[in-house]
Structures are given as C-alpha cells and as structure tokens.
Structure 1
Amino acid sequence: MNVTPPLPKWADLILLPLINLFAAFFVCGLIVLAIGENPFTALNVMIKGAFFYPESLGYTLYYTTNFIFTGLAVATAFHALMFNIGGEGQAYIGGLGAAVVALLFGPNLPMLIVLPLCILSSAAFGALWALIPGYLQAKRGSHIVITTIMFNFLASSLMVWLLAGPLMQQGQQSPQTVLFADAAQLPQMREVLGYFGFELANSPWNLSFFIALIALVVFYILIWKTRLGYEIRAVGKNQEAARYAGINVAKIIIIAMAISGAFAGLMATNEVLGVHNRVILNFTAGYGFTGIAVALMGRNHPIGIFLASLLFGALYQGGAELDFEFTSITREMVVLIQGMIILFSGALAYMFNPSLARLIARISAPKEATDG
C-alpha cells in the first residue's frame, strides 16, 4: 500500500500556497491568452497598477486592511473548528456599532475619547452578532455554517431598514447616515505622514491599517501564547479529548465565535470611520467572503494572513487597472482571476499535497541516509 508521507510544516505554510498561487495565475494566463492578450503584459499592468502608480499603493493597502480583519475573523473561528461564513454580516453590524457612538458622542467629545469608543463599539457589536450563532452551535447543535449565512441576511435586512428609516439622513433619499463629526473620523495616512515630510498621493488609506497590524499581533498572542488560545486550538483538534481534559467545549466555542465576530466588526473602522465617515448601504462589498480565502491561503497564521491580504488587495487594485487598460479584459475577467485564486487556495488547496510530499520525501531520503 502506497502511503503518502506527511508534508513538512515549512512546505505546508510556504511552498504549497506558492504552488497554488502559481497554478491559479497559470490558468488565468491561459484564459487571457485565449482572448487574444499577452498574459505577461497583463501581469505587468496589474503589478504596476497595484504598487507603482502614485496612488496605487495606498489603494492596495486600503483593501489589504479590510482583508486582514475578515481573514482574522475566519482564522479565529477555524482554530476552534468553526467555519464562520458570517464575517459580512458581523462587519455590517460592526459599522452600526461605530455609527451609534459616532452619532451620539462625536459632536460633543474630543477625538481621543470618541475614536477609541467607536473602535471598541464596532468590535463589540460584531462580537455580539457572532456570539448568537456560536451559542446556537454550542448549546443547540445548530450548524455554524447555516446560522452564520442566515445572520448575514438578517444583518443586511436590518441595516436596510435602519439606513432607509431611523438612521437615514434627513433631506435626501440615499440610504445612509449623516456625516460623522470630525472627532469620529480616522485621519488619512497622507495627512499623518505629511507631518513627517512624506508626500503621498490621494487615496483612502487611513490609520485603520495600523489597527489591523495590531490585530494581527493580538491574534498571534491570543492563539499561541495564552491559555484561552490553547483551549481554542485543543477544541479545534479534538472536542472529545478537550472535554476529557476538563475544557468546557461549549464555552470555548461561544468565546471563539465572539472573538471572531469582533475581528470582523473592526473592518468597519476602515470603511465607516476611515473612508466614508458615515454608514452607507453595502459598505462591506463582499470583503467578508474574500476573508475566507485569505484565511485558507494564509494557513490561519498572522504572517500568512497579512501576505494573503496584501495579495488580494493587489488583485483588487491591479484588477481595476487591467479593466482600464484593456478593452478585452473586463471587470468580469478580473473577478474570474480572483475566483481562480480563491479556488486554488480554498477548494483545491491540497491538490498538490501528495505529489509535493512524495517529491520532498524522495529528495530528503538520500540526505538522511548519508547523515545516518
């Protein structure tokens, strides 16, 4: 019987995702070639559009910020073996939490008080929205995938009612709140770096990027350096063994989902506090679903999540440049490229695992024999 050897950890974390990424780009290159365009020219345009034009890097990092938050949300739940597909709804409700504080206290309190309260409120509202599916999973046996998807629709319906009704700005018909006071607006990075003599082109990149970096550090410390993180990972590895070891499995599931929702809710700091400075309809724009691919490609590790978020941020920004430069490469083609990367990073993530493991084992065998 031919048994596939285990894949080394370094290969699983680094080499396999790179192979999957190369495979996705290879397939996309064939599609671009089939429609009559040079795939290398298209790739060059995409890279320049994502990193080298004056305002492009700012847009790429703006998208990256959203994906860091939603990727962390998925990764936190996944460490407890929970598949949280509700990041979209949790981010939406997180925007509501930020808006409540901004509208109530923004006109009367200074920025140093209002902004931290808005950030904490967005995380708290996202946590509460994710806690309910976590409770239903832990206490009632409801499937977490089904409940989180349902809560996405509930969040969308709730926000439509609020933005077209009680929270709607008076005197106009757009479903949005009034503009927040200056104290509830996150500064733009071009303004912050401008104080130190750095000139940046106009872009939506704002201080929430540093909040995302802090979230990555918090995630690492939580999952790998705390008792709670150990219990989350133990539940994710084997619930029965964790229960036998004295871990309250139901409690850990609820807590893990709440933390997951808090990370998703923080996405509102970028969109609501940093860019729009108000809550608008559908500001989440599918970032919660892309976070699933980010977490899978990043192997639920903060470094991997950051790199995967940067990749998808570059795809979003560079893809827009492709749509602008080529008449034959439409926005739908750009979505196809993104979908291919999601496919190879998600559903086909371990397609090359057996072949790669056997190849590494074959290369390593002579060296180990020589060492022996």
Structure 2
Amino acid sequence: MLQTVGEWIWWERLWLPVSVSWSDLEDKEGRVYAKASQLYATLPCALCLLVIRYLYLATPLANIWGIRDRIRLPAEQNPILEKYFRGQTRIPTQDDVRSLCKKTGWPERRVEVWFKRRRNQERPGLRKRFSEASWRCAFYFFAFVGGILALYDVTYRMKKIHLFIPIQSLLPSQYWYYLFEMGFYLSLVFSLTFDVKRKDFKEQVIHHMATLTLLSFSWISNYIRVGTLVMVIHDSSDILLEGAKVLNYAKYHRTANGIFVVFTAVFMVTRLIIFPFWLIHCTWVYPLELFPPFFGYYFFNIMLLVLQLLHLYWAVLISRMVYKFIFSQVCLQMPLCSCVWECVGMCGNVWNILFNLSSSYFHPAAGR
C-alpha cells in the first residue's frame, strides 16, 4: 500500500515535463543535481538558526543598544474579570463594564483600568519586539546578498539554460542559499507560538507554509533558478521593513519613518509589479512554448498565486498605514519630498539588479 502511494507521489509525469524523467536528474559526467534527501538538512539548519537568534544575535544586540522593557503595573487578582477577559472579550463595551461592576462591586473606572493593565500584560515587551525585528533584518540582509551572488553565479556559468527547464547542474551557492532560506522559514514556523502575535497571524502561517511548499517543490523538481528569484524579490523589501522596526524600537524615529516610506515603495514595485507581471507571467506563458502543461506546472503556479493574494492583502494594510502616517502626521519628522526621492532611487536599484542578473532567464529562445 505504502509502496503504491510512494510510486504515485513520485510519478514523474506529475512533477516533470513529458521529455524529462527522474533518471535525467541523476548525477553523471561531473554534473550534480538537487535531491529530495538533501532537504533533511533544513531541520538541523532551522534549529541552529534558532540558537543563533536567541543566544548570539538578538539578545546580545538588545543589550548593546540598551533596549529595556517598560515597567507595567500588573492587574489585580479578580476571577470574575479574568474569566470574562479570557472567555468573552479583551475590550468590553460600556454596557459590559456596567454589568461587571455589579458582579464585582467595583466602580467603572477601576474595571476599565483593570482591563487596560490586563491587556498590557498580554502585549510583547519592547525588548522582545526589538530582538525579533533585528534577527529578521540581519537574516534578510545576508539572504538577499546571498541570493544576488547565487543568481550571478548561475548567470555567469549557465546563460543558455532556460528558467523552467529542470536539467540544471546544482552549484554550491544555490545549495547553501536554499538550505538557509528553508531553514529560516522552518524556524519561523517553530517560533510562531512564542513570537510576537500580530493581526495577520493566520496569513503569516499560510505564507510560511506556502513558501516551504513552493521551495520544496522547486528543489525536488530542480526548478531552482525560479525559486531563487522568488526569494530574492521577497527579501528585498523585507530588509527595509524589519530595519524600520529596529530603528523605531531604538527610538530613531525620523530615520525609521523614512525607511518605512522607502519600504512601501519597494514592496509595491517588487510584490505588485515585478512578481505578478514579470515572474508569474513568465512561469505561466513561456513553459507552454517548450512543453505541454503538466501537474507540476499548475501546482507551481497556483502556489505563486497564493503568495500573490497574500501580497495584495498586505498591500492594503500597508496602504492604510501610509495614509494614516502621512495625513495624520504621526511622527512625520522628515520632509515628504526627501522620502519620495529615496523611494525612487531604491526602487530603481532593486529593479536594475534583478533585471541585469536575470533578464536572460525568461526569454524562451535562451533555452534553445
């Protein structure tokens, strides 16, 4: 039974084009190909990244910058209010407050203060938020640099190989890049339970699982170049977001505000323009000029569309934040024109880097 299921799962017509078989991806003549067994290394890599995060980077950096949590007054012990807080709502209405006053014998002001202090107890401290943001910023920065180097390495050595043709020899730079990226996202899945809980928690879970599924599929089927491009495009804006958070927590508000505006522009360009109209367009259109459609073709592109839907969701949230940021003038301490010029420059740099390193990937004539 298990053998039958395994044969069906690894049926090459599911994951590979008609003209390609698993035997074509076996090491031979000095050419090394990606193997499914190599993905086992992502688990120890994820655990190592967690150790580095908590013992050698995030916490020591918080100590160096002098990040301390604010002292918060604890809520008084009250079983009635505690039960209501956990079972009903964290923010009671005025009618609810009056009802709780009758049950506890407390005045309204005391009940309101209790709920405020109780909510503060659930909120993550400044030190925890700084540690998480600094870790992500550091990883995204080095991952982005590694992705650019991996793209350059592949472009330099194998210019004539098409993006969606899986007969590609694996390079060491690609292996380590995939290993650390997958290990990082797996570590985020492990740390979801004790990381800062956000409003988009469910979307974060879907994003991490879709990313791991997409990367695993692209690795097993040897579509490594397109997977590298997907990761580089994502990391380019994530660096700025986490960097803005770090500076904001460290009370460099003016710089953080400017970087957040730059992040917004880079996010919109990379996630809403480059990703759908360039990368997804190429993975949908060009493969059909070389192969008939197969299951892996649809599966791969559907996972990319799932990521794009999440991009649209986050783009709406970011747009709302920017609207409040600009028109309510909350912490707006730098001229808007300066922010705009920085955005234009950053977006242009990201576009030029990606275009120059991978423009030859997407034209079908490049693989012929």
TM-score tier, shorter chain, comes to under 0.3
Taking structure 2 as the reference length, the TM-score comes to 0.25
Taking structure 1 as the reference length, the TM-score comes to 0.25
Is the radius of gyration larger for structure 1 or structure 2? Answer: 2
Higher relative contact order (CA 8 A, sep 6+): 1
